[in-house]
Every structure is written in C-alpha cells, then in structure tokens.
C-alpha cells in the first residue's frame, strides 16, 4: 500500500507540474489592465499597504519568485518582473501577500519562521542519519528513529507551508480585484494560476508524509 501511495503521489506530482507550466504559459499571454508589469503590480501593492522598506528586485530563472524577509526584497523572475500578464500580476501579488503576512504578524507564518532553524539543521543531516539508520537498524535501531525525528521536522514544515501559501494567494486575489488590476475573467484566470501553484505544495506535503510513514513502518517492522 505504501508503494502504491508513492506511485500515486509521483503521478500527481507530474500532473500538477505539467498543469502549472501549461497554465502559466497560457496566462502569460493574457494582458491585464493598465499595461502594468509584475514589478509595477508589486510596487503598487506594497505602496497601498504602506510598506516602504521592501524593494522589488529581479532574479533569474523561471518560477523562482520569492519574498526574502532577511533582505527585505520581493524577488521576481524573468517572466514576471517585466511582463504585463495575468500570470505576472498573480505571482507578484502573491509574493507581496507574504510581505503583508510578515507585516501583520500572520500566525502560521510565525510558526513557519520559527521552524526554519531546526528544519535547516534537519535538512542538512537527515539523509545521512536515515541511511545510517537503515544500515544499522539491526544493531542500533535508535539511529533510525533519530532520522525519522529529523524527517518529521521537514514534513511538519511542508504541512505548515500550505496555509501560508493559500493565505498569501487569498490576499493577492482580494487586492488585485479590489484595485481593479484584474476584473471578471482576468480575476478568474489569476485565481486559477495561483490554485495550480498551490497544488505543488499539497503534493509535496503528501509526498513528505508518505515518506515519513514508510520509514516509521520500516522501524516498527524491524522492531517486531
């Protein structure tokens, strides 16, 4: 059953990634009102929320957009920063949604931020501890449980990330519609684009949970 679950998650991951790519290509060809680029949208959203200490910058790559609270920057990718499209507006507004979460002290963002140091440590060592645990399970079974504990931290981070991303998208769509940047069909397209992006986090969380279950069952099986 666990192996079947992995196959289903792999298939879902492929489908979600394919859907995300095709939808962003589609919505990247649909312009928004006012000929605004993703950079313009981000700057306007930050300004209207009274945020003056966060810069909008350009970063290379595709779908590499992110908000970095350490450097106070919203980093927009090649297809977003200078492009006038529904997809660019949706992504830019979503990243600014994270800035607003930070500003208002959104609870789940606080939880995710608090998890960053231990998860960074866990991510660095988890694969090696799990490998040692599998190899030494007959002699030192506790090592595998330590690895499971480290992996559980990364799984928790994936799960906590889901509401943070969904809330950022909700804030983005509400602002895009309220500001008149998207209306009618373009608002629906923006929602669809961000929903497709959210599914990648859902699949990642389920994949992490399935892997955690696999190692737990392995440890329990060895114990018996």
pLDDT digits (tens, 9 = 90+) for 126-163: 999 999 999 988 888 899 999 999 999 999 999 999 99
Q: Does residue 95 have an active-site annotation?
A: yes
pLDDT, averaged across the chain: 91
Among 95, 138, 165, 177, the active-site one is 95
| Model confidence band, residue 221 (pLDDT cutoffs 50, 70, 90) | confident
| Model confidence band, residue 222 (pLDDT cutoffs 50, 70, 90) | low
Model confidence, pTM: 0.87
The pLDDT value recorded for residue 34 is 83
DSSP calls for the chain = -HHHHHHHHHHHHHHHHHHHHHHHHHHTTS--GGG--HHHHHHHHHHHTT--S-EEEE--SSS--EEETTTTEEEE-HHHHT--SHHHHHHHHHHHHHHHHHHHT-HHHHHHHHHHHHHHHHHHHHHHHHHHHHHTTTT-HHHHHHHHHHHHHHHHHHHHHHHHHHHHHHHHHHHHHHHTSS-THHHHHHHHHHHHHHHHHHHHHHHHHHHHHHHHHHHHHHH-
Residue 224 has pLDDT above 60, yes or no: no
């Amino acid at each position: 059953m666990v192996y079947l679950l992995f196959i289903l998650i792999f298939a879902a991951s492929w489908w979600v990634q394919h859907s995300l790519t095709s939808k962003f290509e589609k919505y990247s060809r649909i312009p928004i009102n006012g000929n605004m680029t993703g950079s313009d949208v981000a700057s306007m959203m930050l300004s209207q929320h009274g945020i003056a200490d966060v810069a909008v910058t350009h970063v290379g790559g595709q779908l590499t957009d992110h908000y970095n609270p350490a450097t106070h920057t919203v980093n927009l990718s090649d297809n977003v920063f200078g492009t006038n499209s529904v997809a660019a507006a949706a992504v830019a507004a979503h990243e600014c949604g994270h800035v607003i979460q930070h500003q208002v002290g959104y609870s789940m963002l606080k939880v995710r931020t608090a998890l960053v140091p231990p998860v960074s440590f866990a991510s660095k060592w988890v694969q090696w501890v799990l490998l040692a645990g599998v190899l030494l399970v007959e002699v030192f079974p506790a090592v595998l449980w330590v690895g499971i504990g480290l992996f559980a931290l990364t799984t928790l981070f994936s799960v906590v990330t889901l509401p943070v991303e969904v809330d950022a998208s909700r804030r983005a769509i509400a602002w895009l519609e309220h500001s008149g940047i998207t209306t009618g069909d373009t608002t629906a397209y923006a929602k669809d684009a961000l929903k497709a992006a959210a599914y990648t986090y859902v699949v990642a969380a389920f994949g992490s949970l399935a892997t955690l279950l696999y190692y737990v069952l392995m440890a329990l099986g060895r114990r018996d």
